[in-house]
Amino acid sequence: MKKHSILVGICSLGLLVSCATNPLTGKKTLNFVSNSELFPSSFAQYGTFLSENKVITGTADARRVENLGMKIKVAAEKYLNYLGQQNYLNGYQWEYKLIDDKQINAWCMPGGKIVVYSGILPVTQNDAGLATVMGHEVSHALANHGAQRMSAAQIQGLGAVGVVVATGGKSEETQQTWQKVYGVGSQVGVMLPYSRNHETEADKIGLILMAIAGYNPDQAISFWTRMAASSNGQAPPEFLSSHPSDATRIASLQAMVPEAKAIAAKFGMIYK
């Protein structure tokens, strides 16, 4: 048990020294990984991905992705300057690529490296829909969600070691039982809710960015309604998912829209 106490102490110290307030969310965040450590790896992985997949260039859709990406980038700069975070984007190397793939998906890696799959374009339907997607994905990067997930996974791993140490004197069957209980409990009770919270944060920041970029945030509701229809009811129960349910997400977005409009109005964007 002495070893277990030492391990708990180390984890607690890590939590204390690694929590900082994110200016975009106003919340304390767990982050062991700095941008200087994360960005080079992110950029390298992005380059590898592009080399292994078909990048669409020179088409109207490719230009739309590029142009909208630039608008979201400018909106992020404006918003961060407004928040007094002029240096927040130091080290970002923005890039926006359309990939020939039927997946209904898009993502943004730490440091501003964005991919949009061609399969999502029929669901976005228009520029406002695409701005919803790109604003959301960029917001994951701006809120440092990647680094936070890595940090949380490290804590989860340390917790697993703690279970092994604490049950070291028990039978093999008891040890396996407690390891399974910890694995399921930490995933369903901690990691999945953590991920769902990140999705909600990215939704909120994304609404603000798309509104500042000139797109009515009401259109985000329409997009996510279409996304819900595209899933054909195949999503798992919310408590077993890394994302909020469609109903939860749409209700949250509806509640967030007025704030996004109010912030955008400070930049001269007025939406009825």
Report whether pLDDT(100) > 80: yes
At 47, the amino acid letter reads: G
pLDDT of residue 156: 61
* Domain-embedded: residue 20: no
Q: Which domain holds residue 235?
A: 34-265
0.75 exceeded by pTM: yes
* Domain-embedded: residue 58: yes
* Domain-embedded: residue 227: yes
Residues with catalytic roles: 137
Average pLDDT over residues 168-193: 63
pLDDT band at 8 (very low <50, low <70, confident <90, very high): very low
pLDDT of residue 192: 56
More confident site: 242 or 132: 132
Question: Which tens digit of pLDDT belongs to each residue from 121-142?
Answer: 999 999 999 999 999 999 999 9
* Domain-embedded: residue 10: no
Average pLDDT over residues 93-97: 96
* Domain-embedded: residue 26: no
Question: Which tens digit of pLDDT belongs to each residue from 19-44?
Answer: 667 788 887 766 667 888 889 999 99
pLDDT of residue 27: 77
The total number of structural domains in the chain stands at 1
Report whether pLDDT(9) > 50: no
* Domain-embedded: residue 202: yes
pLDDT of residue 130: 97
Where are the alpha helices (H) located in the chain, listed in sequence order?
A: 2-18, 35-52, 60-82, 121-124, 127-142, 145-166, 172-186, 192-212, 218-230, 246-265
* Domain-embedded: residue 7: no
Q: What are phi and psi of 97, to 5 degrees?
A: -130, 140
* Domain-embedded: residue 121: yes
Instruction: Count Cα atoms within 13 angstroms, Cβ side, for 175.
Output: 12
Per-residue CA distances from 47 to 103, 111, 115 (Å)? 20, 13, 11
- 66, 146, 231, 253: CA torsion to nearest 10: -80
